[in-house]
């Protein structure tokens, strides 16, 4: 039976940061976005409000800014190697993130079978962000279910990788999970835990798990 590996982005594939922070750094607005990250992490604002606020910060955002943010971000090592191995094994890999779709979807170029983020308009923005398209922790589980149907697997065949409270629902829904550079709250809910900078080492913990 094939397996489906589900990867979070912010704080998981990206070490110690989020896609919005990396994007905002290109505009000189990193501190403002770090504050928003802290607010949404503490539950002071919800994901749709967060999306509206970063959208407002990014009024001058261009595709060149997005490319620079993506290329310069602090990615874990060997992401592409892990996804190539997963494909060679006949398994599937996908990224599901609350971050903007225009950033997350770039990871299909690295070998992910699918990549889902909160729906943002194309860059440069010519229309508003739709709050209904902003993902949540619960939405990650719904997307995982759709991916299971697409790839012909079940939740029992899934492995989730994440670092924060937005991954709790997904960790609870699948049998195998890896807390990657996570705090103790998520680590306590996971079947495996990894601290480090190399995705292959995290993958190795569950490479043969069934």
Predicted local distance difference test score (pLDDT) of residue 201 = 98
Predicted local distance difference test score (pLDDT) of residue 210 = 66
Asked whether the whole model's pTM tops 0.75, one would answer yes
Return averaged pLDDT per consecutive 10 residues of the chain, 210 residues in all: 96 97 97 95 93 96 98 98 97 97 98 98 95 94 98 97 94 97 88 97 91
Predicted local distance difference test score (pLDDT) of residue 184 = 82
Predicted local distance difference test score (pLDDT) of residue 183 = 82
Other CB atoms within 10 Å distance of the CB of residue 88: 8
Report angle CA 142, 148, 151 to the nearest 5 degrees. Answer: 140
Helix 47-57 / helix 30-41 crossing angle, nearest 10 deg? 180
Strands 92-100 and 176-180, how do they pair? unpaired
pLDDT one-digit tens code per residue, 16-58: 999 999 999 999 999 999 999 999 988 999 999 999 999 999 9
Q: What secondary structure does DSSP assign to 61-129, as a single string?
A: --HHHHHHHHHHS-BPBTHHHHHHHHHHTT-EEEEEEEEEHHHHGGGGGGT-SEEEEE--PPSSP-S--
């Amino acid at each position: 039976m094939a397996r489906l590996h589900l990867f979070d982005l912010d704080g998981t594939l990206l070490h110690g940061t989020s896609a919005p922070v990396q994007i905002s750094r290109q505009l000189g607005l990193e501190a403002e976005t770090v504050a928003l990250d802290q607010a949404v992490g503490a539950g002071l604002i919800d994901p749709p409000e967060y999306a509206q606020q970063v959208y407002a910060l990014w009024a001058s955002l261009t595709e060149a800014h997005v490319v620079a943010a993506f290329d310069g971000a602090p990615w874990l090592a060997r992401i592409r190697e892990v996804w190539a191995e997963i494909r060679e094994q006949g398994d599937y890999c996908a990224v599901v993130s609350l971050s903007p779709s225009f950033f997350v979807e770039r990871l299909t170029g690295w070998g992910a079978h699918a990549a889902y983020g909160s729906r943002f308009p194309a860059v440069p923005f010519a229309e508003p962000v739709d709050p209904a398209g902003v993902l949540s922790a619960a939405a990650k589980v719904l997307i995982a279910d759709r991916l299971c149907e697409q790839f012909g697997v079940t939740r029992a065949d899934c492995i989730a990788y994440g670092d924060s409270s937005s991954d709790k629902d997904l960790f609870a829904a699948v049998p195998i999970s890896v807390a990657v550079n996570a705090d103790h709250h998520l680590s306590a809910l996971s079947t495996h835990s990894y601290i480090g900078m190399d995705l292959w080492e995290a993958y190795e913990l569950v490479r043969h798990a069934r």
